[in-house]
Amino acid sequence: MAVRVRGLRKRYGDVTAVDGIDLDIAAGEVFGLLGPNGAGKSTTVEILEGHRRRDEGEVSVLGADPHRAARSWRDRIGIVWQTAADTPELTVAETVRHFSMYYRDPRDPEQVIDQVGLTEKAGTRIRALSGGQRRRLDVALGIVGSPELLFLDEPTTGFDPEARRRFWDLIQGLAGEGTTILLTSHYLEEVEALADRLAVISRGRIVAEGEPRTLGGRAVAATSVQWMSADGPRTVETDTPTRVVLDLAREFDGEVPQLTVTRPTLEDVYLKLIGATDE
């Protein structure tokens, strides 16, 4: 198990940011952590990274307690921060090469620069990069050390659609090589495309956990069937959409006017989950 958490709690004065979380992430798994701002998501991740102390609970990351882990443990993890420190006068290539020297077994810096789509900008100073290009550099710095466990905090903020798809390919490639990945993102389609499993955190507690297709009962949730009847638009919520469509096809003797069949999206389920905890 790459990550094992039991009874994790963190308080800030009278505010409980993390309230008894249990979490397991298997080695080689891509795990998504979703939650609104202020839900305790960032605090949880910072504790797993060893950058914040917990008040209670047991935490094991790559077999070690992050708060007490040796320097050799940090060599095994990679972090893509939501905001990163700048070295504005260095070029992209200089920065990636410099960071690679912190690790015992780094990736080839030129290969990493190509993987994040910055080859044409390798000689450009960081201060001259666009916001999206700087974000790609953050990703490069997170993966250059060949981490066993990679933390990705909103990694594709500022990416255009093409760059985001290229990043997805990169993450899927890393996962295929056995890298464990913990991903936080507000792009739900990104989490659905990448994550093997995910958890939703709200008010410091995990309110749902599972595969994207089954989260929160999504796989068995009612399906919306809509069509245009002689009396106007009609909608039916049903657990047997195929049967409804077959009945409609017989009724209309073939094509059903303006037929749409809609299953709950991950966004629908997510908003319902966090909404229920806010009531």
Q: What pLDDT sits at residue 276?
A: 59
Shared domain check, 203 and 252: no
The answer, as to whether pTM is greater than 0.75, is yes
End-of-domain residue from the set 181, 209, 237: 209
Shared domain check, 188 and 238: no
Q: What pLDDT sits at residue 279?
A: 44
Q: What pLDDT sits at residue 186?
A: 85
Residue 20 domain-assigned (yes or no): no
Shared domain check, 196 and 176: yes
Q: State the residue range of the domain holding 259.
A: 217-278
Shared domain check, 177 and 92: yes
Shared domain check, 32 and 163: yes
Neighbours of 47 (CB within 10 A): 25
| pLDDT by 10s per residue, the chain, length 279 | 999 999 999 999 999 999 999 999 999 999 999 999 889 999 999 999 999 999 999 999 999 999 999 889 999 999 987 766 568 889 999 999 999 999 989 999 999 999 888 999 999 999 999 888 888 898 899 999 999 999 998 888 777 888 788 888 888 988 998 999 999 988 898 999 999 999 999 999 999 999 998 888 887 788 899 999 988 999 999 988 999 999 999 999 999 999 999 888 898 889 988 885 554
| CATH number of domain containing 195 | 3.40.50.300
Shared domain check, 229 and 137: no
Q: What pLDDT sits at residue 49?
A: 95
Q: In what order do the strands lie in the sheet with 77-80?
A: 77-80, 149-153, 180-184, 30-34, 197-202, 205-210
Shared domain check, 242 and 200: no
Q: What pLDDT sits at residue 13?
A: 94
Residue 12 domain-assigned (yes or no): no
Q: What pLDDT sits at residue 116?
A: 86
Burial of 232 (0-12, 13-18, 19+ CB in 10 A): exposed
> Nearest 5°: phi and psi at 234?
-130, 145
Shared domain check, 137 and 238: no
What's the 3-state SS for the chain? Answer: CCEEEEEEEEEECCEEEEEEEEEEECCCCEEEEECCCCCCHHHHHHHHHCCCCCCEEEEEECCECCCCCCHHHHCCEEEECCCCCCCCCCEHHHHHHHHHCCCCCCCCHHHHHHHCCCHHHCCCEHHHCCHHHHHHHHHHHHHCCCCCEEEEECCCCCCCHHHHHHHHHHHHHHHHCCCEEEEECCCHHHHHHHCCEEEEEECCEEEEEECCCCHHHHHHCCEEEEEEECCEEEEEEECCHHHHHHHHHHHCCCCCCCCEEECCCHHHHHHHHHHHHHC
- Answer for the pair 201, 21: CB distance below 8 angstroms, yes or no: yes
- Answer for the pair 177, 135: CB distance below 8 angstroms, yes or no: no
Q: What pLDDT sits at residue 32?
A: 96
Shared domain check, 158 and 85: yes
Q: How many domains does the chain have?
A: 2
Q: What pLDDT sits at residue 261?
A: 92
End-of-domain residue from the set 209, 235, 268: 209
